[in-house]
Amino acid sequence: MRIKIFRWKAIGPLLVLFTILAVLVVIFAEPIAKDTTEEAGTELLGTQVDIGKLDLHPREAAVNLSRLQIADPFALTQNLLEADDIRLKLNPEALAEKKLVIERLSLSGMRFGTERKTPARRVEGGGFAPKILQAVDQWTKKFDVPLLSLTPIDTIRQLALDPTQLTTIREAEALLARTDSTRKALDQGFQQLNISGTLDSARALVQRLSSADPKKLGLDGTRQAIQSVEETLRQIDAAKKRLEALERNTRTGIQLLGQGTQLLDQARQKDFAFAKSLLKLPSFSAPDIGSAFFGKVSIERFKEALYWAELAQQYMPPGLLPRPAAGPQRLRAAGATLEFPKEKEFPRFLLEQGHLDFSIGGTSAAQGAYQATVRGLTSTPTLYGRPAAIKASRRAAGSAIAEIDVDATIDHVTARTRDAATARLRGIKLPSFDIPGIPFRVVPGTGTSSLDFTMLGGGAQLSGRWAIHSQQVSWAVDTAGRSMNDIERLVWRVVSGLKELEVVAELSGSVGSPKLSVSSNLDKAIAQRLQAVMGEEVARAERLVRAKVDSLVSDKVEPVKRQIASVQAEATKRVESERQRLDQVEQQLQAELKRLTGGLVPGFELPKIKP
Amino acid sequence: MLTLLKLIQSIIKTLHSEGTPGQVAAGMAIGSVLGLTPLLNFHNLVIFSLVVLLNVSFGGAMLGWALFVPLGFLLDPVFHAVGLQLLQAPSLRPLWTAMTNTPLVPYTNFNNTVVLGSFVGWLVLAVPIFFAARYGVARYRATIGERVRRSRFYKAITASQAYNWYRMFRPN
């Protein structure tokens, strides 16, 4: 029987199945696309992305998004961006290749920094964006920002110091133990020299020869006597060499102990610093004051810039080599998905041009004229061949932010990447912030703010400058019911009289080792006032600290120093004494040798006389 | 429990269908791809269409699917490793690049390590599956098949409504 290959009657049910699938796609494509876009956007940006509605327009290859909200990853109660309508015109050819090429992007009803009705959830998980967020949080800890301490003067007079906390005492105890072991080692060394044996035999030989007459000894006797002397002289020479070696070792050991005493002095300086830190004496250094006042808030600004730069590094890598990325989430293992970019083809994602230009009238906070352009934002910059450029501006006189100008360039075309962003905000209500460590709050009022940030080579080189300027600054104090102490009152008098505030924070170094310097017009003023009023008091407190530390460590350090001096003196004396004894007996032997040889040069062998 | 029952039903029906052992085995070999590879992929739509259109045992295909799903999960790490090797092989890069830039092909997700690895795994296993299944079905029918056919259990299953639907895709 011949078996048919095709089951023709199944074509009908199969077509029915495909029709059902098509209907399901039509019904569920938009909600699924909306959920997927929200999920992918949240994962990509590391912050919650919400979309009110998503409409697909397959005939026009376009997508409309309504009520888009992108939460601020650094302030979850705020939206970084909110847009009423977004229209994406896609390239259908690229879509056929599963690539997202946005030919035109238009937005309307865009707002920045709006309050969210419900706080966004923090994006958790092992995705790249949450990892970056954690990494930049860690990055901020690399900065050593001093804390300004305005301790009451009264407390400076009291210092409770626990001796076990002092490094000098621990070091002194360790050095004492080392000194003891050095002394034991020296004793052993002298014992191993075995000089007494050599000296005894040499002296015995001298004594024996001194009573001998060379004429009576005969030639053999004289020769044997000379040989004995030479042998003993060699032994003395060897003993001297051993003594020299021991002397060298002793010198090294003593030197190490001397270094130990130097370390004790250094440890004492550390202990002074430690004890001083317990008193929390105020710093008079202007850079310290600048960093203490505005370091934390400056780092927060740079942290945000670094986050976006790191995201760009991840999503816009240079080069055309295949790149693995995590596969889709599913019940089965996700695996990895590799991209294979090709020259003169579409990249996986490209926003060719996005343009925004509209105005919002009225007196609302959002009123103003907006303009923004985005060009060449792509997943494969090398393929696109030009840096991505983002420009945004807003003009709204009289509103919370009168002028905004943002200009960013992401150049990942070659391996020498460069991410640069500049933001200028004029006529803005600068956010108020607390001064860490002291109960003051700055309310900068309306002023200007600017941020310049550049990252080269994926973080190998960082440079940034954040500046704020205001002529309407006011200060608030919150001592939580207590009254301010003397120093706080002093600083308060300085700052509360200032109506102008100018802060400049500069970032340099690399991502791995960043450096921050902050200066403001307050620094010098505060430093000078503190120096004038507190200088003598602080100097007295420093003397108190020094005396207290000295009194605690002296009992331990001085005996150690005496011990070391004693070991050194004893060792020198013993070496010298042994050397003298050896020299003395050597001289005696030389004299005997001279006498035996009758003035012949030592070592000269007499001719052998045959019997 | 229901799934298990359906699986038993599927096995019984398939083993006693009027298709030849070769048709049942071909169905199982083709159907196994549905279990071995991640299901929601374009190639599986093509495979399903083939199962329906080709004169192979539909039940066999469903049986192959059911039997190879656990194996697919189990072998995912192997599939990932195989797929990664293939996708990263310099000699194959021009092929993958060409496929990436060919319309519709990227929707097969061939550039995912698990998808590619499992598909290649199925290509390798398909022939052994076919011969093993053909031998197994033939042996079953020659030994205990007739006794099972006469049992009340078999009659209860074949009398169900679902069986009538199944008959539509029964091999000729």
User: pLDDT tens across B30-77, in order?
Assistant: 999 999 999 888 888 889 898 888 888 888 888 888 889 999 999 999
Q: CA-to-CA distance for A309 and A330, rounded, in angstroms?
A: 30
Q: Which strand ranges, in their side-by-side order, compose the sheet holding A440-443? A: A433-434, A440-443, A474-477
Are A5 and B54 in contact (CB < 8 Å)? yes
Q: How far is A512 from chain B (nearest CA, A)?
A: 31
Chain B CB contacts of A335 under 8 Å are 76, 79-80, 83-84, 112-115, 117
Are A337 and B93 in contact (CB < 8 Å)? no
Q: CA-to-CA distance for A350 and A100, rounded, in angstroms?
A: 6
Q: What share of chain A is helix, strand, coil (3-state, %, to 5)?
A: 50, 25, 25
Kindly state the DSSP code that residue A113 receives in the 8-state scheme.
Answer: S
Per CATH, domain A168-276+554-597 is 3.30.70? no
One-letter identity of residue A218: G
Are A14 and B52 in contact (CB < 8 Å)? yes
Does the beta carbon of B55 lie under 8 angstroms from any beta carbon of chain A?
yes
Q: Choose, out of B54, B111, B166, the residue to mutate when testing the contact with A (most A CBs < 10 Å).
A: B111
A516's CB contacts (< 8 A; 6+ apart) are: A143, A145, A291, A295, A298, A299, A302, A505, A506, A507
To 5 degrees, how large is the angle CA A573–CA A578–CA A579? 100
Give the mean pLDDT of chain B: 83
Is the pLDDT assigned to residue B7 strictly greater than 70? no
Are B101 and A342 in contact (CB < 8 Å)? yes
Q: What are phi and psi of A473, to 5 degrees?
A: -70, 140
Q: What is the DSSP string of A376-413?
A: EEES-HHHH-S-EEEEEEEE-TTSSEEEEEEEEEEE-S
Are A335 and B97 in contact (CB < 8 Å)? no
Q: CA-to-CA distance for A65 and A109, rounded, in angstroms?
A: 12
pLDDT in the model for residue A611 = 45
Are A98 and B107 in contact (CB < 8 Å)? yes
pLDDT in the model for residue A126 = 58
Q: Can you give the C-alpha Rg of chain A in angstroms?
A: 43
Residue B86: name the closest of A393, A340, A530 by CA: A340
pLDDT in the model for residue A398 = 64
Q: Choose, out of B82, B112, B167, the residue to mutate when testing the contact with A (most A CBs < 10 Å).
A: B112
To 5 degrees, how large is the angle CA A254–CA A256–CA A259? 110
Chain B CB contacts of A328 under 8 Å are 109, 112
Q: How far is A72 from chain B (nearest CA, A)?
A: 32
Q: Where in chain A is the domain with CATH 1.20.1050?
A: 168-276+554-597
pLDDT in the model for residue A532 = 75
For residues A111-122, one letter each, b for 16 or more C-beta atoms within 10 angstroms of the residue's C-beta and e for the rest, the string is bbeeebeeebee
Q: CA-to-CA distance for A40 and A34, rounded, in angstroms?
A: 10
Q: What is the DSSP string of A219-238?
A: HHHHHHHHHHHHHHHHHHHH
Q: CA-to-CA distance for A150 and A160, rounded, in angstroms?
A: 19
- Name the band, by pLDDT with cuts 50, 70 and 90, for residue B8: low
- Across the interface, of A5, A335, A340, the residue whose CB is closest to B112 is A335
Question: Using one digit for the tens of pLDDT, what is the confidence trace for A417-432?
Answer: 898 988 888 877 777 8
Q: How far is A25 from chain B (nearest CA, A)?
A: 14
Chain B CB contacts of A4 under 8 Å are 55, 172
pLDDT in the model for residue B114 = 92
What are the C-alpha distances in Å from A245 to residues A190, A250, A258, A294, A447? 11, 8, 20, 62, 76
Q: CA-to-CA distance for A405 and A396, rounded, in angstroms?
A: 12
Question: Using one digit for the tens of pLDDT, what is the confidence trace for B103-115?
Answer: 888 888 888 999 9
Does the beta carbon of B70 lie under 8 angstroms from any beta carbon of chain A?
no
Number of Cβ within 10 Å of residue A604's Cβ equals: 8
Kindly state the DSSP code that residue B112 receives in the 8-state scheme.
Answer: B
Q: Which residue of B has its CA nearest to A325?
A: B112
pLDDT in the model for residue A395 = 78
Q: Which residue of B has its CA nearest to A345?
A: B101
Are A10 and B53 in contact (CB < 8 Å)? yes
Which of A476-480, B48-52, B125-129, B163-167 ranks highest by mean pLDDT?
A: B125-129
- Residue B57 corresponds to which tokens in the numbers above? 């045992």
pLDDT in the model for residue B79 = 93
Q: How far is A315 from chain B (nearest CA, A)?
A: 18
* Tally of residues, chain B: 172
Q: Which residue of B has its CA nearest to A4?
A: B55
Does the beta carbon of B73 lie under 8 angstroms from any beta carbon of chain A?
yes
Q: What is the DSSP string of A313-380?
A: HHHS-SS-S-EEEE----SS---EEEE---TTS--SEEEEEEEEEEEE-SSSTT-EEEEEEEEEEES-
Residues 123-162 of B with CB under 8 A from A: none
To 5 degrees, how large is the angle CA A28–CA A34–CA A40? 125
Yes or no: say if A316 and A334 are a contact pair by the CB < 8 Å rule. Answer: no
Distance from chain centroid for Cα A370? 40
Number of Cβ within 10 Å of residue B129's Cβ equals: 23
What are the C-alpha distances in Å from A573 to residues A194, A247, A391, A590? 17, 11, 83, 26
One-letter identity of residue A196: S
Kindly state the DSSP code that residue B90 receives in the 8-state scheme.
Answer: G
A535's CB contacts (< 8 A; 6+ apart) are: A284
Is the pLDDT assigned to residue B132 strictly greater than 90? yes
pLDDT in the model for residue B130 = 93
Chain B CB contacts of A19 under 8 Å are none
Number of Cβ within 10 Å of residue B133's Cβ equals: 25
- Counted across chains A and B, CB pairs separated by less than 8 A come out at 106
For residues A170-179, one letter each, b for 16 or more C-beta atoms within 10 angstroms of the residue's C-beta and e for the rest, the string is ebbeebbebb
- Across the interface, of A96, A331, A346, the residue whose CB is closest to B104 is A96
Are A335 and B73 in contact (CB < 8 Å)? no
Low-confidence ranges of chain A (pLDDT < 50): 601, 606-607, 609-611
Helices (H), B91-160: 93-100, 113-142, 145-150, 152-158
Chain A CB contacts of B18 under 8 Å are none
